């Protein structure tokens, strides 16, 4: 069988070079835009991944009701219905209330640290705690109450301790300090020995075991059912737009730090997605321009192509042979765009991100796969177009 070289003189391919080159450049720019946008999208994900506060791939967020001038003085606690609604949402994995003490509590550290303060206690389902030591249990009759203390509170204490002539404490020392919990009951003050068994990075509170809280609220506060002022939610994505809009709609307040990255990420990803969309548009326009060039070339060579078909040339063979001519062109265009994306990624990692470890200087495999898919798609589209045009002649 003849080759493309044999039939090339019969096709007027030499003309209309401008639109051909424009379509090549357009395709290259489009592919480059798309590939670098995808790589940048992946980079943003890598850089803004919040690795520390996540447990089992989930985020834990404290939610309270926003206190405004209008609702001040009203009951701003969560009802059971509020909790049930939150639990039922698809983007929230679980939720649990933080139960607070319904009686007055005072804490003092004895003679070693002459310090005494009114205190609040809370209890939370253990599933929501980041550190739960085995000693964090309480049974009725037990005089010791284990406490999980917020790391932030600990830090605050150490900041103001020197000015109050109090000793600064390390994490380890903190656990050995015995605290006296003075619980004010209707029948007088009842003391418990408390000990800090763990520090929590996640929960800003003074936590006691659920069993203690329930017993104490019932016996000292006289209430068995308490509506919580804040609840903890577990979600797979603290930055999910649905979650953010739900919280906003309900006027619920969350720790903005938790969702701040999410907002930045959302904006950056939207920009990059926009760029990728623009890349796709440029690719489509370039393909359209190239299809015009092909149509024009085939229209100009119409008589010759028709005669080749009349003489016995197979339209299938002709389409494959003509289409094959552009395979090296497409390969060069896509590979150049891929190479350029790789160089950009390397420069971004090296010069802009100063070799940060969480970012690879090399292309992500998805980018390479997308490039391969684009290459195959261009070749198939081109072949189908040529075939359609040639069969129309036959």
Partner 1 sequence: MQIILQKVLPVFFEDDKVNNSQLWNSTLSFNKGENIHIIAPSGSGKTTLIHFLYGLRNDYKGNISYDSNDIKHFDAEKFSIWRRQHISIVFQDLRLFTEQTVLQNLEIKRMLSPFHAVNNIAAMAERLGIKSKLTKVCKTCSYGEQQRIAIIRALQQPFDFLLLDEPFSHLDELNRQKAMELMEEESKKRNATIILADLREITYFKSERTLHL
Using rule CB under 8 A, residue 314 touches partner 1: yes
What is d(CA 4, CA 323) in angstroms, rounded to the nearest whole number? 10
What is d(CA 353, CA 347) in angstroms, rounded to the nearest whole number? 9
Taking the least distance from each CB to partner 1, the nearer of 149 and 313 is: 313
Using rule CB under 8 A, residue 304 touches partner 1: yes
CB of 323 to partner 1, least distance (A): 16
Taking the least distance from each CB to partner 1, the nearer of 8 and 377 is: 8
Among 15, 310, 347, 373, indicate the residue that binds partner 1 (CB under 8 A): 310
Cα–chain center distance at 340: 27
Among 22, 309, 327, 353, indicate the residue that binds partner 1 (CB under 8 A): 309
Among 52, 140, 311, 365, indicate the residue that binds partner 1 (CB under 8 A): 311
Angle at 309 between CA 303 and CA 314, to 5 degrees: 145
CB of 242 to partner 1, least distance (A): 54
Among 294, 308, 322, 334, indicate the residue that binds partner 1 (CB under 8 A): 308
Q: 165: buried, middle or exposed (CB in 10 Å: 19+, 13-18, 0-12)?
A: exposed
Using rule CB under 8 A, residue 110 touches partner 1: no
CB of 318 to partner 1, least distance (A): 9
DSSP codes of every residue in 314-329: -HHHHHHHHHHTTHHH
Interface map 6-35 toward partner 1 (x if CB under 8 A): xx-xx-------------------------
Using rule CB under 8 A, residue 361 touches partner 1: no
What is d(CA 194, CA 207) in angstroms, rounded to the nearest whole number? 11
DSSP, collapsed to helix, strand or coil, labels residue 293 as helix
Taking the least distance from each CB to partner 1, the nearer of 86 and 390 is: 390
Using rule CB under 8 A, residue 93 touches partner 1: no
Taking the least distance from each CB to partner 1, the nearer of 72 and 311 is: 311
Binding piece for partner 1, criterion CB under 8 A, among 4-12, 204-212, 340-348, 376-384: 4-12
Binding piece for partner 1, criterion CB under 8 A, among 43-51, 207-215, 302-310, 350-358: 302-310
CB of 16 to partner 1, least distance (A): 17
User: Which tokens go with 238?
Assistant: 């603290």
Using rule CB under 8 A, residue 383 touches partner 1: no
CB of 20 to partner 1, least distance (A): 21
Q: Are 145 and 193 in contact (CB under 8 A)?
A: yes
Task: Count the neighbouring beta carbons within 10 Å of the beta carbon of residue 370.
Answer: 20
Binding piece for partner 1, criterion CB under 8 A, among 191-199, 206-214, 303-311, 321-329: 303-311
What is d(CA 220, CA 267) in angstroms, rounded to the nearest whole number? 50
Spatial neighbors of 23 by CB under 8 A, at least 6 apart, are 286, 287, 289, 290, 293
Beta pairing class for 113-119 and 144-150: unpaired
Using rule CB under 8 A, residue 132 touches partner 1: no
Q: What is the number of residues in the chain?
A: 394
CB of 308 to partner 1, least distance (A): 7
H runs (alpha helix) in the chain: 4-7, 17-47, 80-88, 151-160, 171-176, 210-216, 241-249, 256-300, 302-310, 315-324, 327-347, 365-393
Size of the site for partner 1 (CB under 8 A): 20
User: Site residues (CB under 8 A) for partner 1?
Assistant: 1-2, 6-7, 9-10, 304, 307-317, 391, 394
């Amino acid at each position: 069988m003849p080759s493309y070289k044999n039939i090339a003189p019969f096709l007027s391919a030499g003309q209309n070079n401008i639109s051909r080159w424009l379509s090549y450049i357009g395709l290259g720019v489009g592919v480059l835009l798309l590939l670098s946008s995808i790589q940048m999208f992946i980079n943003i994900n890598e850089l803004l991944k919040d690795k520390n506060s996540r447990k089992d791939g989930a985020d834990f967020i404290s939610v309270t009701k926003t206190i405004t001038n209008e609702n001040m003085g009203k009951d701003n606690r969560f009802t059971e219905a509020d909790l049930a609604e939150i639990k039922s949402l698809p983007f929230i994995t679980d939720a649990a209330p933080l139960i607070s003490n319904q009686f007055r509590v005072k804490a003092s550290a004895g003679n070693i640290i002459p310090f005494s303060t009114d205190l609040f206690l809370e209890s939370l389902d253990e599933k929501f705690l980041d550190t739960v030591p085995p000693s964090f249990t309480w049974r009725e009759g037990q005089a010791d109450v284990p406490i999980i203390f917020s790391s932030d509170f600990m830090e605050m204490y150490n900041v103001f301790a020197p000015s109050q002539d109090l000793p600064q404490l390390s994490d380890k020392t903190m656990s050995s300090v015995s605290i006296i919990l003075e619980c004010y009951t209707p029948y007088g003050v009842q003391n418990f020995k408390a000990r800090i068994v763990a520090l929590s990075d996640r929960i800003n509170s003074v936590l006691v075991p659920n069993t203690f809280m329930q017993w104490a609220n019932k016996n000292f506060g006289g209430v068995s059912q308490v509506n919580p002022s804040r609840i903890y939610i577990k979600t797979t994505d603290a930055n999910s737009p649905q979650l953010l809009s739900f919280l906003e709609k309900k006027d619920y307040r969350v720790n903005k730090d938790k969702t701040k990255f999410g907002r930045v990420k959302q904006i950056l990803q939207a920009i990059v997605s926009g760029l990728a969309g623009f890349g796709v548009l440029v690719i489509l326009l370039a393909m359209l321009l190239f299809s015009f060039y092909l149509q024009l070339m085939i229209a100009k060579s119409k008589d010759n192509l028709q005669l080749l078909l009349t003489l016995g040339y197979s339209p299938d063979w002709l389409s494959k042979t003509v289409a094959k001519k552009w395979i090296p062109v497409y390969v060069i265009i896509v590979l150049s765009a891929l190479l350029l994306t790789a160089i950009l990624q390397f420069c971004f990692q090296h010069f802009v991100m100063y070799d940060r470890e969480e970012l690879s200087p090399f292309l992500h495999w998805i980018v390479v796969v997308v490039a391969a898919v684009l290459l195959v798609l261009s070749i198939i589209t081109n072949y189908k177009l040529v075939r359609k045009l040639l069969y129309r002649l036959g």
